[in-house]
Amino acid sequence: MADAPLTIAVVGAGAWGSALASVCCRTDHRVLLWGRDAKLVAAINARHENPGYLPGIPLDEAIVATDRLAGLAAARLCLLVVPAQALRAVAEELDDVLGADVPVVLCAKGIEARTHKLMTEVAAEALPGRPLAVLSGPTFAAEVARGLPTAVALASHDRDLAARLVVTLGSRSFRPYLSDDPLGAEIAGAVKNVLAIACGIVAGRQLGDNARAALITRGLVEMSRLVLARGGKAETLMGLAGLGDLTLTCTATQSRNYSFGVALGRGDGVAAALATSRGVVEGRFSAAATLEMAAGLRVEMPICAAVDAVVNRGADLEQTIAGLLGRPFKAEGFSA
């Protein structure tokens, strides 16, 4: 896969898709960047910048943007970077475009709200037969686009595929690490967005750094329960797709989910907080889907349940926080 330059399709011209397009160009591949917005596509081609999502950050001039999925037919590798709730529809359209053996790397983090399925499960249905991998980890798009050092997990059940992808995408500034646990990487990537909302609420409510640290730690326990119950690996939780991504997303205002939580904590309603977000707040969808998955496995996730109650069920924020603080004392551990 990496012996000669490839034509790589990056599907999704938001911040993360544009950043990944630049990553691919740094390893001398030909990149086709698809976006639905024709005006944005034209701007990327004319200005070599994504003014809607990454203003002021130059994109590689070799990137060719298009609003036609049919234009991606020559691709020998596809990075699917559309939001989780749009992935199925776009993938179904891609099924008639991509070659039957073209590997697909899933770069969106979330759980499909309607079916409660992970992105690999959705892709397996919409793009049957294609080799699949998951790219996850602590990544802010603007930093990746600027070429700042970044490490990610590249997970697949096909170790040879993952190894080839590492060589294809890896560079001095973008360092993929192999994983054979795509399920764990996916669940961690979805749940961390829910926990980021909770940490944002803590910040917006000015509950202190101690509370945020406790929330991250106990949130990791909740994430671990669900990953292990679904058959994922404990090592994933301690790696880039687990602790690494959780720490980044729960501590920085660059995170849409964290910023959404901050607005809620300051007293904004859900609609008002969503209106100020630049992009999809995926944690809102993942909260309900995570709890449905957890319920089927009899996994307790009180922090995620509290977030879901506030953002999806109209629960009073102050009462919900009081409910969490009033829970019985327990021992520390994954089974606590």
Cα–Cα distance for residue pair 23/302, rounded to 1 Å: 38
Query: End-to-end distance of the chain based on CA atoms, in angstroms?
Result: 45
Cα–Cα distance for residue pair 136/189, rounded to 1 Å: 7
**Residue 2 predicted with pLDDT over 70:** no
Owner of token pair 């496995």:
297
- Reported as a single tens digit per residue, the pLDDT across 181-202 is 999 999 999 999 999 999 999 9
Say if strands 77-80 and 64-66 run parallel, antiparallel, or are unpaired. Answer: unpaired
**Cβ neighbourhood burial of 200 (10 Å; 0-12, 13-18, 19+):** buried
Among 4-8, 24-28, 39-43, the range scoring the smallest mean pLDDT is 4-8
Owner of token pair 């991998």:
133
- Reported as a single tens digit per residue, the pLDDT across 161-178 is 999 999 999 999 999 999
How much is the mean pLDDT over the chain?
95
pLDDT confidence of 333, banded at 50, 70, 90? low
Mean pLDDT of the 122-136 span:
98
Domains belonging to the chain, first-starting first, are 7-180 (3.40.50.720), 183-325 (1.10.1040.10)
pLDDT at 144 (0 to 100): 98
**Residue 152 predicted with pLDDT over 60:** yes
- Reported as a single tens digit per residue, the pLDDT across 42-66 is 999 999 999 999 999 999 999 999 9
Q: Please tell me the pTM assigned to this model.
A: 0.93
What percent of the chain stands above pLDDT 70? 98
CB atoms closer than 10 angstroms to residue 195: 30
Cα–Cα distance for residue pair 74/34, rounded to 1 Å: 13
pLDDT at 231 (0 to 100): 96
pLDDT at 329 (0 to 100): 87
pLDDT at 236 (0 to 100): 97
Cα–Cα distance for residue pair 290/267, rounded to 1 Å: 25
pLDDT at 331 (0 to 100): 81
Owner of token pair 């590997």:
103
Cα–Cα distance for residue pair 181/15, rounded to 1 Å: 26
Angle (nearest 5°) at CA 249 between 216 and 310: 70
Phi, psi dihedral angles at 245 (to 5 degrees): -70, -40
**Residue 270 predicted with pLDDT over 80:** yes
Dihedral sign of CA atoms 299, 302, 305, 307 in order: negative
**Cβ neighbourhood burial of 225 (10 Å; 0-12, 13-18, 19+):** buried
Mean pLDDT of the 132-160 span:
97
Catalytically active residues are: 192
